[in-house]
């Protein structure tokens, strides 16, 4: 009964949209955090301290919530520790090393477009790992969704690319794709790991590593009351969104979940337009982009629905 609900496309869509709404707010949250804590674009050590503290708190939040839900402490078994290390390497350490530095050297608009590539990465990598087949429908759906992301950012987009900004954001999306595939592998029938346990511990471990790297390099944060609020909010975003996403990956094909990631940059653009005043979405161009994204999501998931009916 629970499995049936977790694989229901409507439930997946609503849960994934909530996750993307949270993740979308992180674009503006990180930028605002940099300004509030006095972290400059070239101060990579402080960016690592910021990220490390955020994810360490996120891990503790996820483990606390999971322990209450499960009515027991989420302590990993010995066999789970290497798996936590692998996911942490891709999901937290590599992804957010590139994300935090990259976002400091590019705009929220351009980052939102490039991050959309993680949908392609997740589907291609899952196909390479043999978790599912790469079909024409999935490719067409990805193209439709990505077209919507490019369209909504076309006005505020400049085509000057730089390695430290745009290049690092692209590497961030590849790491994210590997993270989704490994999470699916470890929580699936082969390993039966608890997705919340993996999420919480990988965040805690990855956050500690990033904080240590930044601290050794003499990174710092100027923590005001407002800065703490931003930090705690961003930690909640990671803990809630990734734990829910991990649960969806456990019970659904990677492509069915990953394609909803196109909503992530769309939400990022929408929130950035309100908080950072970088671009707008509430116009004909924005509505057309939303239609393309929704068409892409429907196209990828339609094949699954037909197969189930048959």
Question: What is the C-alpha separation between 116 and 24, in angstroms, rounded?
Answer: 11
* Backbone phi, psi, residue 285, to 5°: -60, -45
Output the pLDDT for position 138: 82
From first to last of its 310 residues, what are the pLDDT tens digits of the chain? 566 778 888 898 899 989 988 988 887 888 889 889 999 878 889 989 999 999 999 999 999 999 998 899 999 999 999 999 999 999 999 988 888 788 778 776 667 667 777 788 888 888 888 888 888 888 888 788 778 767 755 655 555 667 778 788 889 989 988 998 999 999 887 788 999 999 999 999 999 999 999 999 999 888 899 999 999 999 999 999 999 999 998 888 888 888 887 777 777 767 766 766 655 555 666 667 667 777 877 777 665 444 444 4
The model carries a pTM of 0.80
């Amino acid at each position: 009964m629970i499995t049936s609900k977790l694989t229901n496309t409507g439930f997946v869509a609503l849960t994934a949209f909530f996750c993307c709404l949270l993740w979308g707010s992180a674009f503006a949250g990180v930028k605002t955090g940099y300004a509030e804590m006095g972290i400059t674009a070239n101060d990579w050590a402080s960016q690592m301290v910021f990220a490390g503290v955020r994810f360490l708190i996120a891990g503790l939040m996820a483990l606390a919530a999971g322990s209450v839900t499960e009515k027991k402490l989420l302590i990993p078994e010995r066999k789970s520790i290497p798996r936590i290390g692998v996911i942490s390497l891709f999901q937290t350490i590599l992804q957010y090393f590139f994300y935090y530095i990259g976002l400091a050297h590019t705009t929220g608009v351009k980052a939102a477009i490039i991050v959309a590539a993680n949908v392609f990465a997740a589907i291609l990598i899952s196909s390479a790992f043999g978790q599912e087949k790469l079909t024409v429908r999935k490719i067409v759906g990805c193209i439709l969704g990505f077209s919507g992301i490019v369209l909504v950012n076309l006005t505020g987009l400049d085509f000057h690319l730089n390695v430290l900004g745009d290049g690092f954001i692209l590497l961030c999306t590849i790491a994210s794709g590997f993270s989704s595939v490994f999470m699916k592998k470890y929580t699936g029938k082969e390993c039966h790991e608890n997705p919340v346990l993996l999420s919480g511990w990988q965040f805690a471990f990855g956050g500690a590593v990033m904080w240590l790297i930044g601290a050794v390099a003499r990174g710092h944060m100027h923590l005001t009351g407002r800065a703490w609020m931003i930090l705690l909010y961003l930690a909640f975003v990671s803990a809630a969104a990734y734990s829910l996403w991990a649960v969806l990956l456990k019970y659904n094909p990677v492509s069915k979940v990953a394609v909803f990631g196109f909503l992530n940059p769309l939400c990022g653009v929408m929130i950035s337009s309100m908080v950072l005043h970088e671009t707008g979405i509430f116009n004909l161009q924005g509505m057309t982009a939303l239609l393309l994204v929704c068409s892409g999501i429907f196209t990828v998931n339609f094949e699954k629905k037909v197969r189930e009916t048959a």
